[in-house]
Structures are given as structure tokens and as C-alpha cells.
């Protein structure tokens, strides 16, 4: 994008991947804070399709998770949602998503992959770690219950940042709904209403893909 005076700087795009089952304020605060700290032009939330790491568990159909992510981010002009993983057949790999983002956005865009401390810990065990770090700068956010440490992280490829800590997880939100406990203020109001309307998380039954 051209800036004032004819100078330009590369567009800076954050990518926040997740199951978002459901999306909660921890995700939104992480996206917002990293956008601020790294002067990002936008943050793209990328709900997973069929998450390979959670294949054995029950994950809500992607269409519900995608719609909840759209609802939760709709008011923020810097936030977007991508269907890139939802529409891809087969298991989801972050490397494919980053490659595809790179193809779509072009070589001049700077990509920042945003993860919580727990997910960052798993990164080093991913395949193609070197290519991952070539494709994007990684930003690890603190998360209550997970210690952020830079041991074993490659120099200059990963930033560890402190964000306002929210002890919220999707797992806890799902359990609260199942037990009839409120999730107001843990997730955006529209997400509470969407969950009530659809009956998501009330029991262990797997819902079909059509919201």
C-alpha cells in the first residue's frame, strides 16, 4: 500500500489459526493486541477444517465454527475471516495455509502467524519447521497455565509477547454450556446467542454440518 509522500511499506497481515470451537475473548484479545504491537494492517482468522491434531475428538462442524468466527469479528474493521481451511478437503496443515496465503497475497506482504503459548510449544514438533519460519514471522502470546520460554526457538524467527491474560479456553466454554453454566462475557454476546439458538455443546452428540 502506498503511504503518505509516495513512500510505501509492505502490508503486514496477521494470521490467527484455531479450531474456534467456539471463538472466545482470549482469541480476540490476542489478535487485537498483536495487531497493535506489530502494527498489522489486518488480522485474518482461519478456522480449521478437519483438525488433524484433534481428529480423535469431536469437533463441531466447520460451518458452525466459521460462522461464529465471522459473528465475533464482524465489528472490527481490522479483522477478517478466511474459509481457506474450511473449504480444503482432507486434514489441515498450517504450512499449506501459509503457502496459500503467500500465493494469494503475493511476495511483498509480511505474514505474522499468531499463536498462544500452548500452540507455540507444539510448533517445534511440526514438520517443515524451517519452511514455516520462512513463510511467516511467528508471534507467541502468553496464556494462563502455559509458560512461554524461548529455549529451543530459532533466533529472530519467533517473538514472544505479553498480552492481557485471559484464562478462557474453548474447552471450558463447551463444558459450561453442557452443564448449563453461563458463558456471558467469556465470549461475545453474539456467540452466546448463536450457541443458544443452535443448541451447540448441549450434549455429546455430533451435529450435522448445516447450521
Residues that bind ligand ATP (CB under 6 A): 18-21, 26-27, 30, 115-116, 118-119, 141, 143, 166, 168-171
Contact 117, 162 (CB under 8 A): no
E strands, the chain, are: 12-18, 42-47, 79-81, 110-116, 137-141, 158-161
In the bound state with ligand ATP, the residue whose beta carbon lies nearer, of 20 and 66, is 20
| Residue for grid cell 512461554 | 148
Tell me how far, at minimum, the Cβ of 211 lies from ligand ATP, in Å. 18
User: Strand 137-141's sheet: what is its strand order?
Assistant: 79-81, 42-47, 12-18, 110-116, 137-141, 158-161
Q: How far apart are CA 211 and CA 197, in angstroms?
A: 10
Tell me how far, at minimum, the Cβ of 118 lies from ligand ATP, in Å. 5
Tell me how far, at minimum, the Cβ of 170 lies from ligand ATP, in Å. 3
In the bound state with ligand ATP, the residue whose beta carbon lies nearer, of 64 and 143, is 143
Q: How far apart are CA 161 and CA 166, in angstroms?
A: 14
Residue nearest to ligand ATP (CB): 116
In the bound state with ligand ATP, the residue whose beta carbon lies nearer, of 12 and 115, is 115
Tell me how far, at minimum, the Cβ of 119 lies from ligand ATP, in Å. 3
In the bound state with ligand ATP, the residue whose beta carbon lies nearer, of 9 and 55, is 55
Amino acid at each position: 500500500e502506498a503511504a503518505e509522500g509516495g513512500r510505501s511499506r509492505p502490508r503486514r497481515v496477521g494470521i490467527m489459526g484455531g479450531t474456534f470451537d467456539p471463538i472466545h475473548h482470549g482469541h480476540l484479545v490476542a489478535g487485537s493486541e498483536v495487531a497493535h504491537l506489530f502494527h498489522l494492517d489486518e488480522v485474518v482468522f482461519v478456522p480449521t477444517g478437519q483438525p488433524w491434531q484433534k481428529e480423535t475428538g469431536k469437533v463441531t462442524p466447520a460451518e458452525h465454527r466459521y460462522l461464529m468466527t465471522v459473528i465475533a469479528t464482524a465489528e472490527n474493521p481490522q479483522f477478517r475471516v478466511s474459509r481457506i481451511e474450511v473449504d480444503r478437503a482432507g486434514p489441515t496443515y498450517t504450512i499449506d495455509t501459509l503457502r496459500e496465503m503467500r500465493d494469494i497475497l503475493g511476495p511483498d506482504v509480511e505474514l505474522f502467524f499468531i499463536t498462544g503459548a500452548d500452540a507455540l510449544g507444539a510448533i517445534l514438533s511440526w514438520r517443515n519447521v524451517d519452511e514455516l519460519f520462512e513463510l511467516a514471522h511467528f508471534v507467541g502470546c502468553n496464556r494462563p497455565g502455559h509458560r512461554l520460554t524461548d529455549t529451543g526457538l530459532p533466533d529472530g524467527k519467533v517473538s514472544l509477547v505479553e498480552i492481557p491474560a485471559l484464562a478462557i479456553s474453548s474447552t471450558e466454554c463447551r463444558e459450561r454450556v453442557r452443564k448449563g453454566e453461563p458463558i456471558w462475557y467469556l465470549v461475545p454476546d453474539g456467540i452466546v446467542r448463536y450457541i443458544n439458538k443452535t443448541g451447540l455443546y448441549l450434549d455429546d452428540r455430533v451435529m450435522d454440518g448445516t447450521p
